[in-house]
Structure 1
Amino acid sequence: MRAVSLDHFGDPDVLDVTTRPDPSKRGGDAVIAVKAASVNPSDVKNVAGQMEGTVLPRIPGRNFAGVVVEGPSDWIGAEVWGTGGDIGFRRDGSHAELLALPETALARKPERLSFEEASASGVHFVTGWLGTVVKAQLAPGEAIAVFGVSGGVGGAVAQIADVIGAHVIGVDRVRPAGHTPAASAIDEFVALDGSPQDIAALVKERTSGHGVNVVFDAVGGVTTAAALASLAHGGRLVVISAVGTRTVEIDLVDLYRNETLVIGCNSADLDVVESSALLNRLTPYFDSGQFRPLPIAGRYSLDDAKDAYRAVAGHIKGAVVIQP
C-alpha cells in the first residue's frame, strides 16, 4: 500500500509518500480501506514533534472513514468511521490506503454523512462531547460560552450544547459564516477583541450580568483570563488547548471565592476503541441532522499530503481531507 511516512519531526516538508507492506488481519484485528482521512491541528503538531508519546517511524493521521475489507464476516463491506488518540501516534494512522485496527474499534458510519464528512468529524465531536457532556455536565437551561466557536471543536461544542438545550454564546475573532453548522447553533456572538475584561463584560451582558455556567475554551492560553472572567458563580472552565502561552496568571482568591472549577480535557487519552464507543452515541444525532460536520475546504491526494498539512498549519477555515 501507499502511505504518508513520518521518519523525523519537522514542518510538513519532512513527510514522504512511501510503499509499505499491506497490513494483515491478525487475531482480533480488522483492515479498513481508507476512503477519506482528515488532517487536524493535532496531526500537524504530531509531525512537528509537539505531541507526547509518538513513536517513529510512523504513518500519521488520526481520523478516518472507509470500508472494512478484512475482519469479522458481518463487518466485511461495512462503511465505518473512527478516531483515536493512539492512531498516528502510538500505532500507524489513517493517511494511507489501508488501516489496521482492533475489531472492537469498528463503528458504523452515519448513513447521512459522506466518507469525507465522516472523516472530518471524529476528533471534533469526541472532544466536544467529552468536555461538554462527560466532564462539564452541561445541563438544559444553562449558559455556555464557546471560545473558538468558528473552529472544528468549537463548532461541534456549539451544536452539542444547542441539542442539550443550553443558551449558546459563541466567542471568536470572526462570527461563524452563515453556511457553517456553528452559525445556526449559537444564540449570540461576542467578538474576541479587546481586553479580557471587555470580552467578559460582553458575555455577562448577554446573561443578565450573571456570567455563563460553562466556558469551553478551545483556544486557551491567550484567552484564559477572559474565559475565567466570563464565568458565573460556581462556573466550570473546560480547557483543551494553549495558544500563544502555556502559562497564565490566575488570581486564586477570585478563583476560590467564585468556586470556579477548572477542567482539563484531553481526548488524546481516548484510544480508538474508547473513541468508537462515543462515536456510536453520536451517530443518531448525525443521522437525524442535528449534528453537522464542518464544510470541506480542501481535498488532497496522498501525493499532495504536504500541501494538506500546510493548509491546516495555515489555519484554513473548514476541513481538510486526504483521499487515498
Structure 2
Amino acid sequence: MQALQFSATGSLDSLQLNDLPTPVPGAEEVLVEVRAAGLNPSDLKNVLGRFPYTTTPRIPGRDFSGVVVEGPPELQGKAVWGGTGKGFSFTRDGCHAQYVVVPANAVAPKPESLTFAQAATFGVPYITAWDALERSQVQAGTRFLIIGAGAVARAAQALAKARGANVVLGVRRAEVVQDLAAQGISAFQLPQADQLPELAQERFQQHLPEVIFDTTGYWLPAAVNAVGAFGRIAVIAAPVDGLISLPVLNLYRRGGSIIGVNSLLYSLEDCAKMLERIGAAFEGVLPIPDEFTELPLSEAVAAYNKVNEGGSEKIVLIP
C-alpha cells in the first residue's frame, strides 16, 4: 500500500510517500480501506517533534473515514469514521495511508449525510470541542463565549448551538466578524484584554458569560476577569513556553475553574463513542462542512509543507 511515513522528527525532511506492506488486523481489530483522511495541525507538529513520546518510523494522520474490508463479519463492508485518540499516529501507525488497522470498537458508523471527505474533517476538532462542552457543562441556555475562529472554535459553536446554548464568538479580525455574521453566527472583534469583561457583558444582555472557551492560548488572563460567578474556562492551547501570568485572586474570588482539554487523553474506543454521539446530531442539526480542499495522497508531502508555511485551509487527503 502507499503510505506517508517519517523516520525521524524535528523537520519535514524525512517525510515521504512509501510503498509499505498492507497491515494485517489481529483479533478484535479491523482493516479499514481509507477513503479520506484529515490533515490537522497536530499531524504537522507530530512530524516536527512536538510530541516527545512519538516513536519512529511512523505513519501520521489522526482522522479518517473509510470502509471496513477485514474484521468481524458484522462490520465488513460498513462505512465508518474514527481516529483521534491516544497513541494513534504517535505510538501506533495513523491513517495517512491506503489502509489502517484499529480496534474493532474504535470505529463508528459514518453519518449517511456526510461524504467520506466531509467525515474526515471532523475527528480532532469536533472531539476536542465535544470534550470542552461536556466538561464545562454547556447546555441549553448557557451563556457561552468562544475565543477564536479556527476549526475547534467553529466545531464548538455548532455543537453548542445544537444544545441550545447562547453562543458568541470573539475573534481578532473584523473581516472574520463579517464572515461569521453572514453565516448567522454572533461574533465581535476582540478588544484590548482589559475591555473584554465589559464587551462580553454587553453581548450577553448585561450578564457575564458562564463558560469561556479559549481556543487561542493567549486570552486566559482576560477570560478569568470576564467569566461570571462559578464560571468555567476551557483551554486547549498555550504560548510556546507553556507559561502565562494568571490573576488567581480574581479566579478564586468568583469561584471559577479552569479546564484543560486534550483529546490525547482518550482512547480510540472513547473517541469512537464521542463520534457516535456527534454523528447522531447531524440529521438536520449540525451544518455540513464544505470549506476544505481535497488532495490526493500522492501530494501529501506538499500538503504538509503548505500547512507548515502557514496555510490555514482544511486539507483532506484522498488515497
TM superposition score category, shorter chain reference: over 0.9
Q: Does the alignment pair 1:82 with 2:82?
A: yes
Show CA shifts across 1:146-178 (max 9, x none). 111x21111010011111111111111236588
Q: Does the alignment pair 1:298 with 2:297?
A: no
Q: State the shift of 1:281 in Å.
A: 1.0
Q: Report the Cα distance in structure 2 between the residues aligned to 1:281 and 1:218, rounded to whole angstroms.
A: 22
Q: How does 1:131-280 map to 2 (within 5 A)?
A: 131-133=132-134, 135-148=135-148, 150-174=149-173, 176=176, 184=183, 186=185, 188-192=186-190, 194-220=191-217, 222-243=218-239, 245-280=241-276
Q: Report the Cα distance in structure 2 between the residues aligned to 1:173 and 1:248, rounded to whole angstroms.
A: 20
Show CA shifts across 1:96-135 (max 9, x none). 01000111112110000011110011111111111102x1
Q: 1:13 to 1:191 in 2, by over 3 A?
A: farther
Q: Which amino acid counterpart does residue 256 of structure 2 have in structure 1?
A: T
Q: How does 1:23-62 map to 2 (within 5 A)?
A: 23-62=23-62
Q: 1:315 to 1:178 in 2, by over 3 A?
A: farther
Name the SS of the counterpart of 1:198 in structure 2. helix
Q: Report the Cα distance in structure 1 between the residues aligned to 2:289 and 2:241, rounded to whole angstroms.
A: 27
Give percent identity, aligned residues only: 33
Who is 1:108 aligned against? 109
Q: State the shift of 1:308 in Å.
A: 1.5
Most deviating of 70-79 and 226-235 = 226-235
Q: Report the Cα distance in structure 2 between the residues aligned to 1:207 and 1:267, rounded to whole angstroms.
A: 30
Name the SS of the counterpart of 2:281 in structure 1. helix
Q: 1:154 to 1:314 in 2, by over 3 A?
A: farther
Q: 1:83 to 1:176 in 2, by over 3 A?
A: farther
Q: Report the Cα distance in structure 2 between the residues aligned to 1:88 and 1:53, rounded to whole angstroms.
A: 11
Q: Report the Cα distance in structure 2 between the residues aligned to 1:275 and 1:183, rounded to whole angstroms.
A: 32
Runs of 4+ displaced beyond 6 Å: 177-180
Show CA shifts across 1:45-85 (max 9, x none). 11111124211110000000011110111211111101223
Show CA shifts across 1:11-51 (max 9, x none). 33431111111111211111001011010011111111112
Most deviating of 196-205 and 250-259 = 196-205
How many pairs does the alignment contain?
A: 317
Q: Which amino acid counterpart does residue 299 of structure 2 have in structure 1?
A: D
Q: State the shift of 1:141 in Å.
A: 1.2
Q: 1:309 to 1:178 in 2, by over 3 A?
A: farther
In structure 1, list runs of 5 or more residues that go unmatched.
none
Given that 1:83 and 1:276 are in contact with CA atoms closer than 8 Å, whether structure 2 keeps it comes out as yes
Q: State the shift of 1:264 in Å.
A: 0.7
Q: Which amino acid counterpart does residue 170 of structure 2 have in structure 1?
A: V
Who is 1:125 aligned against? 126
Q: 1:299 to 1:94 in 2, by over 3 A?
A: same
Q: Report the Cα distance in structure 1 between the residues aligned to 2:288 and 2:15, rounded to whole angstroms.
A: 27
Given that 2:126 and 2:152 are in contact with CA atoms closer than 8 Å, whether structure 1 keeps it comes out as yes
Q: State the shift of 1:247 in Å.
A: 1.1
Q: State the shift of 1:242 in Å.
A: 1.4
Given that 1:117 and 1:296 are in contact with CA atoms closer than 8 Å, whether structure 2 keeps it comes out as no
Q: Report the Cα distance in structure 2 between the residues aligned to 1:315 and 1:120, rounded to whole angstroms.
A: 18
Most deviating of 228-237 and 300-309 = 300-309
Given that 1:152 and 1:294 are in contact with CA atoms closer than 8 Å, whether structure 2 keeps it comes out as no
Given that 1:33 and 1:66 are in contact with CA atoms closer than 8 Å, whether structure 2 keeps it comes out as yes
